[in-house]
Structure 1
């Protein structure tokens, strides 16, 4: 297949009879869809299939709840060119993605390099003043180059463009890794709203790219018996109903990101450590009352209530149970909270693609790097080779 649009199988009523592909990408989050698109651009002669357990984009993974904040403050040393390339791609490479330049204020309790007194910065952003206590956070860093975007929209745009470029797309299908390819369970919904396997079939693939987010390392370990050093953590994104508008900057304090969104703020809590295998998140208690915020997240917010007074008000949505507060499992490359996205060859023909906490800043570059590796292309558009 070298030209024309790819085929889409959205439900079990559409018969899927394919037996083999050159490359199969498992997972339609932003990294999986971007990798599929880049592969079609770099190696249009390869037969490529994108498989997703749900719809496009992935509806259950961290992509939908990712912060969508690109900032120079998240760029590791030596990877500035990659990060700048990612920013340019989000800004102009995908026409349907809403991309909004929005300054980011990182607030601190202590003086440090590049920090200025918080009151001086607030003269430029008076709308941020009611959100914070300058006495508790007297120092600030300002990133004028920061932008916000919707990672879910990015995944959708990449997936649609990959199909237009010739990639096939198989939705509502659970993929299991097997030597030499995949076992596919095509899913359907019964009249009692249960998700069941309608049919199972084997698919051969020369290369499988596992872009399943936090489920990827577990799939490799469970299906192929491979050990990985990667972990995961459950991250919730509660809502703060304090007014925001297009002029409100992104705020950070104590690792907490306040992302202006839908007239209020989406809170992105810090990730301190990986959750142990088998851990099930549970809600905590606030003044003895059960709430939907997991205990670790609740403790972080309580610790910041003096610095960010609205957190101590009714503007914070805490819910009554875990189901009331959006949350998803987040992949942690190497089990760490500060490791950039990565790709790794697990065994012959099987590659793992992981995003993690820094996916907003570097994810697309890592997806491109893997696509170029699979395609046998050495050059990288940000000037790095290898």
Structure 2
């Protein structure tokens, strides 16, 4: 007998009757949605609730702004199996019987196989002259500063947001419930919910609250996850977060344009231009409130660290000094989001108690996130499993 699809609670007008759940997942971003998908694939008999404070995926979260760049470059040997599984899920090589999600739909941002090109100031082992590299946009690079390159084939670009939506939809089709526009915090016995609505003045208000019992609780709230479990449960973690901005460089690209690494920046071909991905330099202090600040009295949207990275690369990548770079006049003009920084740097899960788990992706979730979510689903202590 085929199980009925789960219920989607998208707004407070839909009545919700509290009931015990086997598993509640706090956060319907990439990591939480993938964990829900795998759990429902493994155990379609589960009563599972997937929650998110916003939409699917949350427009204020890191998932929707994740670069979506997969590469085996810099992946250590002990992470390569995780990276390979994540790639197979992304490109649709895994069958439904293997827990796959299939390929994206016609309206999804495409997954594109690309070369990743490391630009170098001088010849190194395995490098070639930059003149031998095909697909590099004209006027992007000054070859007197970056004369050689190493090519890493089989990288790809994709949409983490589209992957997240497919994973959540898969979980709902298998019987999971999905509740959006809800603020949630873990409790010793489950989860406390505050359903949210928007007033006429655009203020977010709490419409109703519920206390749910849950056998297992997965906190997959991204950068907010560690502080959430510390505040709600009194459990100390050793993870942190950073505020990363992703300026856009409007230099023409196409499906043959490679991913470029140079001067500490990664240029990811995206929607006919490049997304500029800076390094994460340090942990931001708790309570930091992002502001545009001022540069010579002129309001700007870039943080100092992002601006310094771009300034350091101007000679080698002169296109960054042109109007092709969107710097913005206010903070909202420069896409940015809080990013989780798991201790150790790689996506991970951590058991906090007999009932509670913390799941973190971070900046390397593009590469191994799906595999780590699958490993958590296998580790969860489920009655009758």
Structure 2-normalised TM-score?
A: 0.92
From 139, 145, 148, the counterpart of 2:148: 139
Structure 1 gaps, min length 5: 378-386
2:309 aligned residue (276, 300, 311):
300
Structure 1 stretch displaced more, 299-308 or 89-98: 89-98
Where do residues 246-325 of structure 1 align in structure 2 (5 Å cutoff)? 246-283=255-292, 285=294, 289-325=298-334
- Distance in 2 (CA, whole Å) between partners of 1:85 and 1:286 is 45
Instruction: Note if contact 2:115-2:156 (Cα within 8 Å) is conserved in structure 1.
Output: yes
Q: Which stretch shifts more, 72-81 or 111-120?
A: 111-120
Task: Write out per-residue CA displacement over residues 3-33 of structure 1, whole angstroms, 9 at most, x where no aligned residue.
Answer: 2211111111111102210000110111110
Alignment size in residue pairs: 371
- 3-state DSSP class of the match of 1:163? helix
Distance 1:69 1:24 in 2: 29
The aligned counterpart of 1:106 is: 118
Could you say which residue in structure 1 is the equivalent of 2:364? 358
Q: Deviations over 1:307-345 (max 9, x none)?
A: 1101011111111121221110000001x6xx1100011
Q: Are the equivalent residues in 2 in contact too, given 1:57–1:159 (CA < 8 A)?
A: no
Aligned 8 A contact 1:2 1:44 in 2:
no
Q: 1:94 aligns with which of 95, 102, 109?
A: 102
Answer with 284-293 or 52-61: which moved more.
Answer: 284-293
Question: 1:172 corresponds to which residue?
Answer: 181
CA contact (8 A) 2:137 2:251 kept: no
Maintained 8 Å contact 1:107/1:138: yes
Q: Which residue of 2 aligns with 1:191?
A: 200
Distance 1:233 1:2, change over 3 A: farther
Deviations 1:180-237 (A, max 9, x none): 1111000011111111000011001110001100000010111111111100000111
Distance in 2, matches of 1:324 and 1:330, equals: 18
Q: 1:1-386 alignment to 2 at 5 Å?
A: 3-92=3-92, 93-96=101-104, 98-121=110-133, 124-125=134-135, 127-283=136-292, 285=294, 289-334=298-343, 339-374=345-380
Q: Return the offset for 1:110.
A: 4.9
The CA deviation at 1:135 is 2.3
For the structure 1 residues 340 and 2, does the alpha-carbon distance in structure 2 shift closer, same or farther, using more than 3 Å as the test?
farther
3-state DSSP of counterpart to 1:352: strand
- Quickly say closer, same or farther: Cα 1:16–1:376, change in 2 above 3 A: closer
User: 2-side partners of 1:16 and 1:113: how far apart?
Assistant: 62
How big is each residue's C-alpha offset from its partner over 1:262-282, in whole Å with a ceiling of 9 and x where there is no partner? 211111111111112222233
Q: Which residue of 2 aligns with 1:383?
A: none
Q: Distance in 1 between matches of 2:125 and 2:302?
A: 34
Shift of 1:287: 5.9
The answer (yes or no) to whether the contact 2:216–2:381 under 8 Å persists in 1 is: no
Task: Give deviations 1:112-160, integer Å, cap 9, x for gaps.
Answer: 4443332332xx23x4342112222233221210111111111111111
Q: 2:339 and 2:3 mapped to 1: Cα distance? A: 36
User: Which is further off, 352-361 or 250-259?
Assistant: 250-259
Q: Matched residue of 1:299: which SS?
A: helix
CA distance in structure 1 between the partners assigned to 2:381 and 2:318 by the alignment: 52
Q: Deviations over 1:240-294 (max 9, x none)?
A: 1111112211111123111111211111111111112222233355566331111
Structure 2: state its 5+ residue gaps: 93-100
Determine helix, strand or coil for the equivalent of 1:13.
Answer: coil
> Would you say the 8 A contact 1:283–1:295 is kept in 2?
no
Q: Show CA shifts across 1:49-93 (max 9, x none).
A: 101111112221111111101011142222212211111111013
Tell me the distance in 1 between the aligned counterparts of 2:125 and 2:239: 33
Contact 1:102-1:250 within 8 A present in 2 as well: yes
Distance 1:48 1:347, change over 3 A: same
